[in-house]
Amino acid sequence: MTVTTDRRPARPRRLLARTAAVVLAAGVAVLGFAGPASAHVTVNPSEATQGGYAALTFRVPNERDDASTTKLEVALPTDTPFASVSVKPIPGWTVATTTSKLAKPIEAHGTQVTEAVSRVTWTATSPANAIAPHQFQEFSISVGPLPEAEKIYFKSLQTYSNGEVVRWIEEPTGSEEPDKPAPVLTLVKGGDGHGSADTETSEAASASESDDDDSDGNGLAIGLGVAGLIAGVAGLIAGLLALRRSTADSSTAKS
């Protein structure tokens, strides 16, 4: 006597398994893409008043899983220099400034300035103080008077413990953001020559703006992730229904 076994449900099962794998991979890709999308060096606030003073904070995230950030170098403009630059100390980090002679002297408070700070470098004093994976650190300076310019780009170098150097130095050339954008400060006209960015109120506004930027980016990422998961669940349900129909058909044929 020959016994015939119906193997037709195997194909839907394989199809369901493949669908689940694809959905899982897509969900991981979408959620994984959301993280590093906004993970670059930024300056806050992103806008200040020409002729005023501003407390600027550079936020540095660690984008690596197997290395820490040990140094940050920020270049200050020499074509539109700051007559005054002061730095905020950070526990566990040293800070050094580089002064350069100006090609064209500037005048500040009735005094001619021939040299200006052109670079600020922060260095972790030990591996324990470096920026660990999935963490960030903020580095602050106070500068002024701000020049009569539309934008200032702070080209920055981020050094990792494995020797890698990420160059955040690119300026936009079109509507799309560069891969390694330099932190940018937009300057607007107005004010009385003494900006309020050094006050507690302005620092709070800066922090709020930074958090809002992160929230916007994270909100979009979460939305994309949820949409992907919903589509995945719908695909799995459709696969299960197909498997049930196939199994029912098989049972009917056997009977």
Distances (CA, A) of 236 to 29, 122, 208, 239: 18, 51, 41, 5
Find residue 54's DSSP bridge partners. Answer: 143
- pLDDT tens by residue, 181-194: 999 999 999 754 44
Q: Considering only CA atoms, which of 155, 148, 154, 173 is closest in space to residue 48? A: 148
The CATH homologous superfamily of the domain defined by 39-219: Uncharacterised protein YcnI-like PF07987, DUF1775 (2.60.40.2230)
pLDDT tier at 230, thresholds 50, 70, 90 = low
Q: Considering only CA atoms, which of 28, 105, 90 is closest in space to residue 58? A: 90
Q: Return the higher-pLDDT residue of 17 and 58.
A: 58
The amino acid occupying position 59 is: R
pLDDT tier at 107, thresholds 50, 70, 90 = confident
Instruction: Say yes or no to pLDDT of 146 above 70.
Output: yes
Instruction: Say yes or no to pLDDT of 196 above 70.
Output: no
Q: Return the higher-pLDDT residue of 193 and 110.
A: 110
Question: How confident is the model at residue 237, as a pLDDT?
Answer: 57
Tell me, yes or no, if the pTM score tops 0.75: no
pLDDT tier at 217, thresholds 50, 70, 90 = very low
The secondary structure of residue 248, as a DSSP letter, is: H
Question: How confident is the model at residue 56, as a pLDDT?
Answer: 98
Neighbouring C-beta atoms of residue 221, cutoff 10 Å: 18
Token output for 51:
């002729």
pLDDT tier at 10, thresholds 50, 70, 90 = low
The residue assigned the tokens 């954008």 is 181
**Mean pLDDT calculated for residue range 119-127:** 98
State the pairing for strand pair 151-153/184-188: antiparallel
- Mean pLDDT estimate for the chain: 76
Out of 27-36, 136-145, 228-237, 243-252, pick the least confident.
Answer: 27-36
pLDDT tier at 242, thresholds 50, 70, 90 = low
Share of the chain above pLDDT 70, in %: 60
Give CA–CA dist 59/209, Å, rounded.
12
Q: In this structure, are residues 50 and 130 in contact, taking their beta carbons and an 8 Å threshold? A: no
By CB neighbour count within 10 A (0-12 exposed, 13-18 middle, 19+ buried), where does 10 fall? Answer: exposed
Question: How confident is the model at residue 144, as a pLDDT?
Answer: 95
Give CA–CA dist 220/37, Å, rounded.
11
Give CA–CA dist 211/200, Å, rounded.
16
The secondary structure of residue 131, as a DSSP letter, is: B
For the chain, domain boundaries: 39-219
- pLDDT tens by residue, 148-170: 999 999 999 999 999 999 999 99
Question: How confident is the model at residue 189, as a pLDDT?
Answer: 92
Instruction: Say yes or no to pLDDT of 30 above 50.
Output: no
Q: Is 187 helix (H, G, I), strand (E, B) or coil?
A: strand
- pLDDT tens by residue, 56-83: 999 999 999 999 999 999 999 999 999 9
